[in-house]
Amino acid sequence: MTTSGAGSPAALEHLAVELAEGAAELVRSQAHGQLDVGAKSTSTDLVTEVDRAAERWLVAELARRRPADAVLGEEGGGRSGTSGVRWVLDPIDGTVNFVLGLPIYAVSVAAEVDGSVTAGAVANPVTGETFHARLGGGAYLGGQRLRGPRDIPLERAVVGTGFGYDAALRARQGAVVAHMLPRVADIRRLGAAALDLCFLGAGRIDAYFEVALNPWDHAAGGLVAAEAGCVASGLHGRTPSATLYAAAGPGLAEPFFALLEEIGADVLSM
Ligand code: LIP
């Protein structure tokens, strides 16, 4: 049951697409200028003035169009609300790729209703691709319905993952990947969790896992993957969380999650 004033999941999805594509246009227009690049949690955790400008635009649009909603933005933009709807924003997921000019970054916009992600959109400013979904309504790339990854055995799986900004955590994550590599076909470290999860839903990778994600990294992409038929887990029967977010197609989920549990992928220290 949705909180009064939430609006329909379809209306929230339509707005998420509009917002993600509008912010993607702003990012695209500023992608080739001189970038003002700063650092956040570590020297490798980058943020640019374009990240901040895109988030300011998103927050202003939401204040105009959904003034009773709460907002949580990666770059600090946010406010409380009274409608039961919270928008979860990553103005540029894959900021390092954006700074380097690697075309794998996206604007991620998700709408939570009473704490559950109900609609979302992920827009890549370079490719013009917009992935979107609503709870129970399926997942789409533009108008094309997404059906999830191939049904293949673990040893043929191409697995997406990512690494944190803290050196000690990266040492642990590297050890996990070293144990995984001989058990799967290959690894892809693409640099943007929101797109990793959308690519899983689109069947461009067969499975995905990452630790230490923030809500804005996975909120919209996680809904796209789920609505494309994928299964998500935090391992050991837990729901996905900042400790670990893993997802795969229904045929691969059980052996993939068992491999992650065997390796101890959710153990963050060496
Ligand atoms: C990125 C994530 C990615 C992770 C990167 C980084 P950001 O988010 O989407 O999956 O591996 O280290 O955290 O910081 O570019 O918004």
CATH code at position 45: 3.30.540.10
Same domain assignment for residues 233 and 257: yes
> 2 lies in a domain?
no
- 93 vs 105: CA distance, rounded Å: 5
Same domain, 52 and 141: yes
Structure tokens at 49: 């003035």
Residue 131 sits in the same domain as residue 229: no
Assess whether the C-beta atom of 47 lies below 6 angstroms from ligand 1. Answer: no
Q: Residues 185, 167: one domain?
A: yes
Question: Does residue 269 fall inside a structural domain?
Answer: no
Residue nearest ligand 1's atom 5 by CA: 191
What pLDDT, on the 0 to 100 scale, is given for residue 5? 67
Cβ–ligand 1 distance for 55 under 6 Å, the answer no
**Cβ 243 vs Cβ 234: under 8 Å:** yes
Q: In a 10 Å sphere around its CB, with 0-12 CB exposed, 13-18 middle and 19+ buried, how is residue 136 labelled?
A: exposed
Does 270 fall in a domain? Answer: no
The verdict on residue 3 lying in a domain is: no
Chain-centre distance of CA 196, in angstroms? 7
- Distance of CA 263 from the midpoint of ligand 1 (Å): 22
| Per-residue confidence (pLDDT) for residue 3, from 0 to 100 | 46
pLDDT of residue 33: 67
Residue where a domain terminates, one of 100, 115, 145: 145
Residue 163 belongs to some domain of the structure: yes
Bridge partners (DSSP) listed for residue 8? none
pLDDT digits (tens, 9 = 90+) for 193-229: 999 999 999 999 999 999 999 999 999 999 999 999 9
In 3D space, the residue among 72, 70, 74 whose CA is nearest the CA of residue 85 turns out to be 70
From 110, 145, 180, give the residue that closes a domain: 145
Q: With respect to residue 195, please indicate whether it lies within any of the assigned structural domains.
A: yes
Same domain (yes/no): 55, 161: no
- DSSP letter (8 states) at residue 82: S
Two structure tokens written together for 6: 């939430």
Question: Is 245 near ligand 1, meaning CB less than 6 Å away?
Answer: no
Q: Cβ-count burial of 18 within 10 angstroms (0-12 exposed, 13-18 middle, 19+ buried)?
A: middle
Atom index in ligand 1 nearest the CA of residue 194 equals: 9
Name the pTM for this structure: 0.95
Q: What per-residue confidence (pLDDT) applies to 248?
A: 98
- Please say which residue of 126, 145, 164 terminates a domain: 145
Low-confidence ranges of the chain (pLDDT < 50): 1-3
How many separate domains does the chain show?
2
Tell me: do 16 and 140 sit in the same domain.
Answer: yes
- Ligand 1 centre distance from Cα of residue 96 (Å): 8
Rounded to whole angstroms, how far apart are CA atoms 37 and 101? 13
Domain match, 99 and 180 both = no
- Residue to probe by mutation, ligand 1, list 88, 217, 218, 245, most atoms within 8 Å of CB: 217
pLDDT at 37: 73
Domain that holds residue 68: 9-145
Q: How far, in Å, from the CA of 152 to the mean position of ligand 1?
A: 27
